[in-house]
Structure formats: C-alpha cells, structure tokens
C-alpha cells in the first residue's frame, strides 16, 4: 500500500460511495415504511398514522435529495479515475448503471412528485398506489446497483473479445446465483436500517415525554418489524457466506483470518491479524467451530491464505474486522428488537427507560452494518476489481498522477464535509422537532418540488426574505 | 468503421441530451452568472424565483449524458473524463456548491453573503469549464492505445480560455433572455439593458473561435467541404445574434430568448457538420467507440420507455410554470 494514484483513487471511491450509500439505503427503507403506514391509515382511518406519515415524508424528501446529489458524482467516478475499467467493462457495467439512472429519474419524474405534492390532488387510493410505486422504484434502483456489483464479484455471462469484456447472456449477468442472494441481503439491510432509526426516534420522544401517540406507533411497528426480519437477514447473511466460500475462497479465508489450511478448522472470534508475519496476535479462537460455520460439519478441511498466490491475496484486516462489526450490529438489532417485544408483551415498552435509552443509542447500527458489510465485500474482492478478470491496479486511469488524485480527494472531502453535515443537520433538526404540523408544501417562491424545501418550517423556507429574528 | 443503426440511435440520443442540457441548464446557469452582477436585493430574489422550479430538473440531463456515454460509448466516456479530470472535478463541486447555495441562501442571515457569492461563482465556474472543455476538444485530445495521453492541465490553453469565456457569455445571454421572458418591471428592464452587449460579445468570441478552428483544423475544413450545405448553420447563428443586438427593444419579450436558443442550436449543428463522425477529435469516432450491439440493444429497451417520460415530464414542468412570474404570485404544481 503506497501513496500512488491507485491507492488514492480507491480511497476516493470508498469515500464518495460511503457518503452516497447511506442516503439511498435510508431512503429505500423509508419508502417502504411510508407505504406501509399509508396503507394502515387507509384501512384504519386513524389520524395518528397520517401525522406519522407526514413527519417521515419530510425526512424522506431530504434524504432523497441528498442521495440524488451524491449520486451525480458517482456517475462520473468510473470515467475519471477508473477509465480502463470503464473501457473494458463498459459494455456490461454501462447498461446496468444506465438502467439505475433511468429508474431513479423515472421515479423522481412521476410518483415521487405525486407523493410530495399530490395528497390533495389525487384520490387516497391513487396516493397509496404512488407510495407503493416509489417504494418499488427505490428497490428496483438498488436492483441494478446490486446486479452490477454482483457481476463484479462473480462475473458470469460475458465473453472476452480483443481485451474488451462484452455481454454474451444478459439473463446470466443480471440474475446470477450471487445476485439472488445479495440483493435480498441489501434490501433487508436497508429496511432494518430504517427500522432501527424509526425505533430510535420513537424512543427519543418517549424519553422526552413528547408526542406519546406517535412515539407508540413508531416503537411498536418498527420493533415488531425488526424482530421478524432480523432472523431472515441472518439467514441471507449465511447464504452470502456460502457464495463467498464457493466463489471467492480467498475472501473467505481473509474474513476468517485463516492463514494456514486447517483440518478441523478453528474459528477466530477475535484477533489482531498481522499480515507481515502471517499470523494472528492475541487470538481468541474456538476449535472446530470454523469447520462447522464454513462447511456444516465439525471435521472439514478449510483452506488458508497460504494456498493462494501472494499476488492474489486480499488484505486481511479490513474484511476481518468489517465482517465482525457487521455481524455484531446484527446481534445488537436482534437483542434490541426481541427484548423490545418482550417488554411490549409485558406492557412496559414505553416506560422502561434503560431500554428506551438503548434503543435510542442503537440508531446507527444499521448504517454501520451496511458500511462495514460493504467494505468486507469490496476489500475482500481485492486485488481484483472484476474478480478473476481485471486487477484493480490495471483498471485505474493511466494518465492520473498522485497530485491529481490528492487534489480531487481533498476537494471532495471538503465539499462533502460541508454538504453532508448540512444535510444531516437538517435531518437531525426535523427529527428533534418531531411530528408537529402536518406537511404543507411550502408555498414559497423557490418552488416546493425540491426536496430540501421541506427541511424547514414554512416561515423560514419560503424563499422570501428572512425577517430578522426568525 | 461504419456505425451500426443502434450506435447511430444512441449517438442521436446523446447529442439530443447534450443540446437540451446546454439550453436548459444554460439559462439557469446564466441567471446565476448575472446574479453576481447586481447588488439589488429585490432583483436577486426575483432572479432566484425565475429559475427555482427548473434548475434541478435541468441538471438531470447531465446524468442522462453521463450514463448514456458509459453504456453506449464507453471509450468516449473513459477518454473524455480522464482528459478532463480537473474540469470535471470543478464542475461537480461547482454544481454541488451552487445547489447548496440555492437551498440555503434564504435560510441563514449570517451566511447570506457566502451563499450569494457561492451561487454566482459556482454558476460562472461551471459554465467556464464546460466551454473550456469544448475548446480543448476542438484542439484535439491526445490518445495513445485508446487511453488519454496528456497531463492534467493540457486542456488549459488560450483557445480553451476563449471558448470558456465565450460560453460564460453565451449562458449569460440565455439567462438574460429568460429573465426578460419570465419577468416584468425593473428586472426585465435590467436584463434588456444587458442583452445587446452580451450578444455582441458572444458574437465576437464565437466568430473568433470559429475562424481559429477553421484555420487550425483540417478535419473541420474537410467537413465543410464534404457537407457544403452546413455553412448555413454558422450563417443563421450570425443572423440570429445580429438580430438580438439590434432588434432587442421590440414589442415581444420572447424574441431574445428564442433567438439565443436558435443560436445555440445552430452552433451545435455547426460543430456536428464540421467534426462528424468524430466524438473525440481527432481519434475516436462514433463507429469505433460504440459498445457491442448486445449492450446497445439491452439499454434500448429501457430508453424507449424512459426517455419519452423524462421528456414529457420536462415539458409538463415548463408548461405548468409558463408565462410571466408576477410579484407575490407563487407558482406551484
């Protein structure tokens, strides 16, 4: 690892994609949550659901806007920093990402506008339908991203002609066996992330003793949902592990920090992997458990990194810790949601302060799990950018110098620092303010179609002159 | 290598998207450029209101261009973005900064000056790098073995500075035309006063750039020899701008904007006539850069559904917000 254009470009991509991914993931979960709540309101007719809906719609709008802006930058990263990748795999990655862009804009152009502004203009059923379509749209948007990334993890359905990788079978490219596992894994991750945020917000209000009724809806629905979904997610996580073992044994060995081939293999619970001496420091391991986790029996032989050529080995530290952090977040979600439902059954959910504090503090678990899981998958794929076909080192733009990338990295760091902190600050402000007045498209001169126009109360967001003191 | 029918379809889609982007984001960037030329608070607020419902939709066309190039012409996507690494960075940061400034400049009294500055500076810088990129393209992009083979500052040259300034002026002209079209009273008069000067400056800059290109580029001369009818486009452009310079105080407020749009349209067509079939002069053509038909076909299925929807949506937004913006009247869906 040296300070060269390849390393800096990887850092830059990791940076912009990390900032990007949290918004679409949150948005995807929010869209599903809003559609659910609107459906419940349609059936029960209770006004509290409308208040909860209107409140989360505002958060949704800001998050959607942030996702779009950070996404524009992503659309150009492949060409600026990874031009060889873009040229060689453009015939496959280009259309997949093109479909993603199309889906996102179709959505923004149609049902998203209805959802933000059309409450009074369409029938309740049509409005509910729009919410469902937005939810479906965000999911199909993620479908193309995951199809693209799954193809980079396990390339299938392509042919190599004259150095260019071209599509031979789109069905195989888009719906490979890996995709069938990873897309649900990502969808559930997004739902859980939002679920934990909704629960944390409910807990926050309950702790402050404000918006009791809304807090109740948020806590009950989200904790119930997370409790049911988290075991399914753990199951899909297990399936993801199986594909890694089958298709990417080097990544599997790196996640397990298994340097030497073992039979039976032990499971390293914690250690500090030392790449230089190829061993684990301060290791805590359980004999035979590694064989069981990987192969389902207690005596299987599991290969170590020593069997993989040195130039094909991924780094160990990030996949090892990334995976453990992700799994740890999953266990926290499991604990919070099941405990919450136990308390609910006893009728003490909204009065047990220590539990509400725990739920409140667990709000970032989903985000941490998504980011660390993503790092595990991406770093574990190294040194390949398209597994087995194209090395990361050979995919970078040949004309880039260290100075170029250093400059762009610093600029993105600075601008994202400002931009994303403003966005997060507004989301925080919205959440703190709580479900007060119903959502009114701000009849301001700056036009209400724009998501961020919802971030504030009408008095200051009208686009008119701000009176002193407001 | 002759391009396939699908490659031609995609080349047309991308050319169309670039044209739409230039005109639509052109006028709102232009208003942003003009924004920095007045200190009058009421004019500034009015300017913001004139572009508020449109500007973010206009930027979506940029993503259609990026995604379309990546999918249909990966070689162009890769070479263009590596050759313009720093301008693209400036473009991204300018667009983000401009967007934040737009959202926040009415929310914060303390930061007001920063956001106002950011809005006009961001708009100007975005316009400049786009124009400079066109200039650098006309001079040719060094490509070796299919990869960009120049430095990070190769795009910066007196000629590209000329085209960069030219586009800043051109966008400002579009913006002034838009302000006249959408406003009454002091702002319309303010914009009217600037239009003749802007049109004259654009005419001079662009004629200069045209002559230099014609002198410099064998391909451009050859293009006009093979397609002599193409000479009508620059002539229409000159006529349109001359009409803007001298006929601006007419009765109809649509005229300056419409004529500026005509000017942009024919300038774009002139470039096409001179440089066809090159997508990146003088190394990458439409035929050589096109992705295999299997890729073009796959995305074609989506494009025939999505592009009409985006187009219809764009038209409907402009239709809803048609006409003059009256003071105090708030136009919303």
CB contact under 8 A, B151 and A105: no
pLDDT digits (tens, 9 = 90+) for A358-394: 999 999 999 999 999 999 999 999 899 999 889 999 8
Residues of B in contact with A461 (CB under 8 A): 106-107
A150: part of which helix (H) or strand (E)? Answer: helix A124-153
Check pLDDT > 90 for residue B165: yes
User: What percentage of chain A exceeds 70 in pLDDT?
Assistant: 92
Of B146, B186, B262, residue with least CA distance to A397: B146
Structure tokens at B54: 């449109």
Average pLDDT over residues B170-189: 91
pLDDT for position B251? 65
Average pLDDT over residues B12-39: 91
Residue B43 is classified by DSSP as H
Chain A: nearest CA to B197, how far in angstroms?
29
Structure tokens at B235: 């002539």
Check pLDDT > 80 for residue B202: yes
- Dihedral Cα A49, A52, A53, A56, nearest 10 deg: -160
Of B167, B200, B195, B324, residue with least CA distance to B256: B195
CA A469 vs CA A433, A458, A465: distances in Å: 19, 15, 12
Tell me the sheet residues that pair with A286: A267
CA B259 vs CA A194, A360, B58, B190: distances in Å: 50, 59, 20, 19
pLDDT digits (tens, 9 = 90+) for A24-79: 899 999 999 999 999 999 999 888 898 899 899 988 888 888 887 788 888 889 98
Instruction: Quickly state the pLDDT bin for B152 (edges 50, 70, 90).
Output: confident
A412: part of which helix (H) or strand (E)? Answer: helix A402-433
B26 by DSSP, 3-state: which? helix
User: What percentage of chain A exceeds 90 in pLDDT?
Assistant: 40
B278 reaches A (C-beta below 8 A): no
| B29 touches B171 (CB < 8 A) | yes
pLDDT for position A13? 93
Instruction: Quickly state the pLDDT bin for A408 (edges 50, 70, 90).
Output: very high
Burial of A468 (0-12, 13-18, 19+ CB in 10 A): exposed
| B301 touches B52 (CB < 8 A) | no
Average pLDDT over residues B230-242: 91
**Mean confidence (pLDDT) of chain A:** 85
pLDDT for position A70? 83
A469 Cβ neighbours under 8 A, 6+ residues apart? none
Q: What is the pTM of this model?
A: 0.87
| A206 touches A217 (CB < 8 A) | no
pLDDT for position A348? 85
Check pLDDT > 80 for residue A11: yes
Which residue in chain B has the smallest CA separation from A171? B298
Tell me the sheet residues that pair with A386: A390
Of A386, A96, A390, residue with least CA distance to B291: A96
Instruction: Quickly state the pLDDT bin for A440 (edges 50, 70, 90).
Output: very low
pLDDT for position B302? 85
CB contact under 8 A, B89 and A75: no
pLDDT digits (tens, 9 = 90+) for A170-217: 999 998 889 999 999 999 999 999 999 999 999 999 988 888 888 989
pLDDT digits (tens, 9 = 90+) for A233-270: 999 999 998 889 889 999 988 988 888 888 888 888 88
pLDDT digits (tens, 9 = 90+) for A132-170: 988 988 898 899 999 999 999 999 988 998 888 988 889
Q: Torsions phi, psi of A416, nearest 5? A: -65, -35
pLDDT higher at A221 or A438:
A221
Average pLDDT over residues B295-303: 89
A11 Cβ neighbours under 8 A, 6+ residues apart? A409
Average pLDDT over residues B246-267: 85
Check pLDDT > 60 for residue B247: yes
CA–CA distance, A142 with B182 (Å, rounded to integer): 39
Q: Which residues between 87 and 146 in chain B have a beta carbon less than 8 angstroms from any beta carbon of chain A? A: 88-89, 92-93, 95-97, 99-100, 102-104, 106-109, 146
Which residue in chain B has the smallest CA separation from A415? B93
């Amino acid at each position: 690892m040296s300070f060269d254009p390849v390393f800096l470009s990887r850092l830059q991509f990791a940076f912009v994609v990390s900032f990007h991914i949290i918004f679409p993931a949150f948005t995807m979960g929010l869209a599903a949550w809003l559609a659910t709540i609107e459906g419940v309101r349609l059936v029960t007719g209770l006004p509290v659901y409308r208040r909860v809906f209107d409140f989360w719609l505002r958060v949704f709008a800001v998050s959607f806007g942030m996702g779009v802006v950070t996404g524009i930058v992503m659309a150009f990263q492949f060409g600026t920093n990874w031009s060889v990748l873009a040229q060689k795999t453009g015939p496959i990655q280009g259309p997949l990402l093109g479909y993603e862009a199309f889906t996102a804009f179709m959505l923004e152009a149609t049902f998203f506008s209805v959802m933000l502004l059309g409450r009074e203009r369409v029938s309740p059923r049509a409005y509910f339908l729009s919410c469902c379509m937005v939810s479906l749209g965000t999911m199909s948007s993620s479908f193309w991203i995951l199809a693209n990334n799954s193809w980079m993890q396990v390339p299938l359905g392509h042919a190599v002609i004259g150095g260019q990788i071209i599509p031979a079978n789109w069905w195989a490219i888009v719906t490979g066996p890996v995709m069938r596992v990873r897309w649900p894994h990502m969808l559930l991750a997004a739902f859980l992330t939002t679920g934990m945020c909704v629960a944390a917000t409910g807990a926050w209000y309950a702790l402050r003793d404000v918006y009791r009724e809304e807090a109740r809806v948020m806590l009950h629905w989200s904790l119930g949902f997370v409790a049911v979904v988290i075991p399914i997610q753990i199951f899909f996580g297990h399936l993801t592990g199986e594909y890694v073992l089958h298709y990417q044994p080097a990544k599997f060995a790196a996640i397990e920090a298994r340097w030497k081939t073992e039979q039976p293999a032990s499971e390293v619970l914690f250690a500090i992997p030392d790449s230089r001496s190829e061993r684990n420091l301060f290791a805590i391991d359980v004999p035979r458990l590694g064989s069981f986790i990987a192969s389902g029996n207690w005596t299987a032989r599991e290969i170590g990194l020593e069997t993989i050529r040195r130039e094909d080995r991924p780094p160990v530290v990030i996949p090892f810790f990334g995976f453990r952090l992700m799994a740890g977040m999953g266990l926290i979600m499991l604990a919070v949601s099941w405990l919450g439902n136990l308390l609910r059954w006893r009728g003490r959910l909204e009065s047990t302060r220590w539990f509400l504090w725990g739920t409140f503090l667990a709000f970032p678990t989903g985000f941490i799990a998504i980011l660390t899981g993503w790092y595990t998958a991406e770093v574990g794929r190294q040194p390949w950018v398209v597994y087995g076909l194209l090395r990361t080192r050979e995919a970078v733009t040949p004309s880039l110098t260290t100075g170029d990338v250093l400059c762009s990295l610093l600029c993105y760091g600075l601008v994202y620092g400002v931009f994303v902190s403003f966005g997060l600050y507004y989301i925080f402000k919205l959440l703190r303010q709580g479900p007060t007045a119903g959502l009114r498209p701000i009849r301001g001169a700056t036009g209400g179609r724009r998501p961020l126009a919802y971030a504030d109360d009408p008095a200051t967001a009208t686009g008119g002159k701000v009176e002193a003191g407001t | 290598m002759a391009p396939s029918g699908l490659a031609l379809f995609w080349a047309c889609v991308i050319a169309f998207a670039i044209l739409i982007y230039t005109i639509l984001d052109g006028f709102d960037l232009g208003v942003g450029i003009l924004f920095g030329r007045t200190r009058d608070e009421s004019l500034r607020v009015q300017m913001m209101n004139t572009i508020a419902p449109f500007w973010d939709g206009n930027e979506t066309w940029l993503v259609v261009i990026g995604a379309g190039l990546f999918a249909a012409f990966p070689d162009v996507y890769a070479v263009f973005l590596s050759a313009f690494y720093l301008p693209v960075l400036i473009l991204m940061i300018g667009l983000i900064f401009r967007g934040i400034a737009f959202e926040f400049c009415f929310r914060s009294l303390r930061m007001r000056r920063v956001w106002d500055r950011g809005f006009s500076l961001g708009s100007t810088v975005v316009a400049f790098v786009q124009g400079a990129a066109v200039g650098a393209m006309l001079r040719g992009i060094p490509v070796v073995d299919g990869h960009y083979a120049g430095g990070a500052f190769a795009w910066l040259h007196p000629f590209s500075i000329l085209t960069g300034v030219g586009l800043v002026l051109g966008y400002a002209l579009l913006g002034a035309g838009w302000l006249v079209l959408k406003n009454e009273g002091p702002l319309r008069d303010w914009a009217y006063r600037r239009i003749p000067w802007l049109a004259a400056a654009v005419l001079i800059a662009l004629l200069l750039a045209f002559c230099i290109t014609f002198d410099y580029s064998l391909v451009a001369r050859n293009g006009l020899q093979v397609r002599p009818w193409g000479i009508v486009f620059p002539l229409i452009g000159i006529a349109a701008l001359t009409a803007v310079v001298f006929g601006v105080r007419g009765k109809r407020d649509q005229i300056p904007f419409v004529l500026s749009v005509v000017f942009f349209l024919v300038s774009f067509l002139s470039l096409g006539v001179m440089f066809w079939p090159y997508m990146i002069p003088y190394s990458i053509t439409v035929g050589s850069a096109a992705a295999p038909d299997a890729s073009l076909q796959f995305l074609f299925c989506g494009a025939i559904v999505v592009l009409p929807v985006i187009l219809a949506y764009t038209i409907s937004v402009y239709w809803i917000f048609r006409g003059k913006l009256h003071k105090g009247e708030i136009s919303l869906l």
